[in-house]
Amino acid sequence: MKKSIIFLWFGTIAGCTFLGIFFVNVMAKEPQPPRMVSYYTCIRIQPGDTIWSIAETYSQETDLSVEDYVLRLKQMNHIGEDTIHAGHYLTVMYQRPEAEEEEDLNPSQ
């Protein structure tokens, strides 16, 4: 009786270990979404542009909603209201996936 309980116990531990290793390997092989990096640029406001139309365009390249992007635009550009004027410049943010291999900015000599 003791032998069968010990055998069952070791079999359970071995089975759980095998399944754990199997699931860890499966999870490790799942492709991870690339990490997004934020970049900033200045655009010239064109006639007819609104802060909302600009946010609709540039928020598509971020993980922000249009409303959150408008708030971010206002913060970045120190704007209190929704009013912007053609001919002025506006700093906008966009995101791109992080490069897998970063370029060496300080090449060895």
Residue type, 71: L
Mean pLDDT over all residues of the chain? 82
Quick one: CA dihedral 27, 28, 30, 35, positive or negative? positive
Please state the rounded mean pLDDT for residues 90-109: 68
- Is pLDDT larger for residue 31 or for residue 89? 89
Rounded Cα distance, 99 and 56, in Å = 26
Please state the rounded mean pLDDT for residues 8-21: 76
pLDDT of 16 strictly over 90: no
Could you count the other beta carbons within 10 Å of the beta carbon of residue 36?
14
Contact of 82 with 52, CB cutoff 8 Å: yes
